[in-house]
Amino acid sequence: MSLENIRALLRTYTPGRRVRFEPESQAVRDKAPPGVESGVIIQILLLPLPPPVFGLEIEIEGPDGPDGIVLGTADVMPDPLDLDTLQHELRHRTVRFARSIGIGIVFPVGASEDGLIEHVRYRRAEDGYQSDLIISLRIAVDPLANPGGINTFYTDADFTQCRLLRRTASR
């Protein structure tokens, strides 16, 4: 799949976007706990079904705290895409970088693989319209491992470069 196709999917199924579950879906009845009717998109997944079928990892508020389920895109209805809502949903959430795939960000020595979302905005396309969602991140750096003693690194990324992590239950 091309990067442009992945970006188009991310524009529709943006991590952090809330989705409502289709009440008539058998997959929803099988996977969602009773009373759970919506969740937040964590990531898009390529499901092992022919032809290529996409699913969504969705964070839900289960009976024992945050949990996740995987549903097909036909099993959900995305809420309207609103920057303020995304900012509220994503701010201070954690993302993880898959550095082995060459994501184009030069991390300082000692940087964590996780980043904390500080801000959300849209990048403007060359034609002046809104394009991809960009997240501004704060990444911890181990000052003992960094020759310059840097303890924080800031960068911008999109969800082709990192993956939103599910929240964990508070104990």
Using alpha carbons only, give the angle 162, 163, 168 rounded to the nearest 5 degrees: 140
pTM of the model: 0.89
| pLDDT tens profile 55-111 | 999 999 988 889 999 999 999 999 999 999 999 999 999 999 977 666 789 999 999
pLDDT at 129: 66
As a whole-number percent, the residues of the chain with pLDDT over 70 amount to: 94
The mean pLDDT value for 146-159 works out to: 94
Phi-psi region of 18 (alpha: psi -120 to 50; beta: other; left: phi over 0): beta
Q: Is the pLDDT of residue 125 over 80?
A: no
Largest CA distance in the chain: 57
Give me the DSSP letters along the chain.
Answer: --HHHHHHHHHHS-TT-EEEEPTT-HHHHHHSPTT--EEEEEEEEEES-TTTEEEEEEEEEETTEEEEEEEEGGGEEEPP--HHHHHHHHTT-EEEE-GGG--S--PPTTB-SEEEEEEEEEEEPTTSSEEEEEEEEEEEB-TTTSTT---EEEEEE-TTTEEEPPP----
Which pLDDT tens digit goes with each residue over 36-45? 999 999 999 9
